[in-house]
Amino acid sequence: MSFQSDESQVKRCPKTGKIISEGNFQSSRHNWPWWLLPFIGFAAFIWFLVRVIPKPSRAAYPCQRIAFPLASGFIIWSSGIFGSTIAYKRAKAALARSRYLAAAIFAIASIGFIWTALNSSADKQVFAHEPIVANSPIG
């Protein structure tokens, strides 16, 4: 969220002062490749499994508490993508064989996978450490 005025959101030509384009501009340091997210999620999932399966008490470590939302987000995203793709292909095949009820069920399943993947996040903040409450003793 930007707290700058609308005038700063307009890109102008330095010589003529004409508006080149309007919109929310991001600096190049915040414009990193979006295709990297699945690889980060997969790496977090593998790292979480490798560290937590041998010793489950490691799940309470701060680094694992950071990796878990990335890993679970990856699992939900990939199950939504692959589940909806498989259900869509089966619906298409059932429709080609004139099995309309099966095609409708698979189409609904495909929509259900996508809906579940998009609406599975909680709006609750998660911290890697416990927040410090004012006037409470530490230790």
Locus of tokens 């701060």: 62
DSSP string, 42-95: HHHHHHHHHHHTT-GGGGGSHHHHHHHHHHHHHHHHHHHHHHHHHHHHHHHHHH
Q: CB neighbours of 18 closer than 8 A, spacing ≥ 6?
A: 12
- Reference 38, options 89, 76, 85; nearest CA is 76
Break the chain into its structural domains and give their ranges. Answer: 71-119
Could you read off the pLDDT of 61-93 as tens digits, one per residue? 988 988 998 899 899 999 999 999 999 999 999
**Average of per-residue pLDDT across 58-62:** 90
pLDDT of residue 15: 82
Q: Which residue has the tokens 């409450």?
A: 133
Please state the pTM of the whole predicted model.
0.59
Residue 42: name the closest of 78, 82, 83 by CA: 78
Tens-digit pLDDT profile for residues 11-56: 777 888 777 766 555 555 556 677 888 899 999 999 999 999 999 9
Q: What phi and psi, each to the nearest 5 degrees, are found at residue 127? A: -110, 150
Q: How far is CA 9 from CA 15, 21, 30, in A?
A: 18, 9, 16
